[in-house]
Amino acid sequence: MPRRTDGAPAKAERHQAILAALATDPTVRISALAAGFGVSAETVRRDIEELSRAGAVRRTYGGASVVPAGLQPELSSRERMAVAERARIGAAAAAMVEPGHVVMLDAGSTTTHFARALAARGILATVLTNNLNAATELAAAPSGQIRVILCPGEVIAAERGVYGSETEAFLRRFHADMAVIGASGLTEEGPCEVVSRAAWVKRAMIARAPRRMLLADSGKFGRGLLECVCPLADLTDLVTDTMPPVSLEAALRRAGTALTVADRSG
């Protein structure tokens, strides 16, 4: 990640570091963060305020704490977080799609980056998705070679996706080469979500594909939210932006889940 000319970490790097710290400790102090970053307390305070507005942390007196397991910011807020990291993750995952592949793709900010990168590749592929943003990106692919099948269901405008029993039943009609999902949190038990309807669609997708790929930036590490989507062993791949903590990396090895760290130069 970029650094300022004085050697201190840039804002995006500080934000990721704050989220990473909260993955191992439920609270962080502004004074400790400022000393570690080599920046002023006021700079860190602004960082925490920005993260709080996006719903990624809870602001406390003198610091920040983790967001409760039953809360999740809307997609419009999440889209402003870790944009460069999620773009790299999406590009790295899209590079794994082979011509002729059928891909199931769920709704979320990182999966939309995947769709954008896949559209740019211009290869022949079929994508079934409940992600309205992704469907638009893929349908506009310059090559016109990507077939887009939009799932039926109830439109949830805040998530720009469709959900429900009709969505899940529709997905069960198809076979796919890859299921590509996101998650709001990732622990040693597996990916997790706050909203059950999102977890149900993810499960329907990973049940229909031999390759089951999770896209998750490092801010998700250690975040144990309301509902576990599946065990780690149900995932064949994790694509992320940096190496996970030692305990999570060990859990991935035990589960047989391949780890891909997106290239920062890409």
Identify any residues that bridge with 181 across adjacent strands, giving them in sequence order: 214
What confidence score (pLDDT) does residue 74 get?
Answer: 54
pLDDT tens, residue by residue, 199-243: 999 999 999 999 999 999 887 888 778 899 999 999 999 999 989
* pLDDT > 60? residue 13: yes
Give the span between the Cα atoms of 197 and 214, in whole angstroms.
Answer: 17
| Every domain of the chain and the residues it spans | 11-67, 77-261
Q: Which residue has the tokens 């039953």?
A: 70
Query: Are 11-67 and 77-261 equal in CATH topology?
Result: no
Local structure of 216: helix, strand or coil: coil
Q: For domain 77-261, say whether CATH 3.40.50.10470 is its number.
A: yes
Closest CA to 215 of 56, 90, 82: 90
Helices 11-24 + 83-94 axis angle, to 10: 80
Specify the pTM: 0.75
What confidence score (pLDDT) does residue 17 get?
Answer: 83
* pLDDT > 70? residue 67: no
Q: Which two tokens stand for residue 214?
A: 């999770």
Assess contact for 232 and 257: CB atoms under 8 A: yes
**228 or 79, higher pLDDT:** 228
What confidence score (pLDDT) does residue 81 get?
Answer: 61
What confidence score (pLDDT) does residue 52 get?
Answer: 78
Q: Which residue has the tokens 């780690």?
A: 232
* pLDDT > 70? residue 148: yes
What's the CATH architecture for 11-67?
Orthogonal Bundle (1.10)
Q: Which residue has the tokens 């300022």?
A: 4
Query: What mean pLDDT value characterizes the chain?
Result: 87
Distance (Å) of CA 119 to CA 90, 141, 221: 11, 5, 28
Closest CA to 190 of 235, 246, 243, 245: 235
Q: Which residue has the tokens 């859990």?
A: 251
